[in-house]
Amino acid sequence: MKMHLKSMLLLMGVSFIIFTGFKNADLRGAQDSKANANHSAVTFTCTYTDGALPTVTGTFTTSGAIEASGTTTMTVHPFANVFHCSQTLVGPEGTITILSNCQKSTMNGSWRIVSGTGAYANLQGNGRLVMTFPAGVIVIETFSGKIF
């Protein structure tokens, strides 16, 4: 009798763990799908033409989920083989502050939105960036990624 009771309790415990684990995995999948559905593609293009390091200024345009243009200021902090930068984009509907990191050797990096004001107060986003250095400008940074 005791052996039968122990077997039944073990079977119930294992069943509970298995079914609870599957239910949680299903919920996690549904939550991930919902979160990805709210992500929208965006591209920021910042063209810096004035100033001198560590602070340069210029203009920006966006396309995709946000359509805007305005002025931008970037503060550059070089460290070893990396540029740590802060970009403030000022448009007619508010500001967006971005932090980015770029490899000096590849001119590629990553970015993330850290704050915003006005229409961009709750904006979040991140992605990849590429720096180019055409004649007549200090740098052009192209940020591509997702906002949510």
Divide the 148 residues of the chain into consecutive groups of 10 and give the mean pLDDT of each group.
Answer: 55 47 44 56 98 96 96 96 97 97 96 97 97 95 96
pLDDT at 1: 58
> Where in the chain are the domains?
1-37, 41-147
What are the distances in angstroms from CA 41 to CA 70, 79, 97, 125? 20, 30, 18, 9
Q: Which of these, 105, 89, 98, 148, lies nearest to 128 by C-alpha position?
A: 98
- CATH number at 41-147: 2.40.350
pTM for the structure as a whole? 0.74
pLDDT at 35: 44
pLDDT at 39: 84
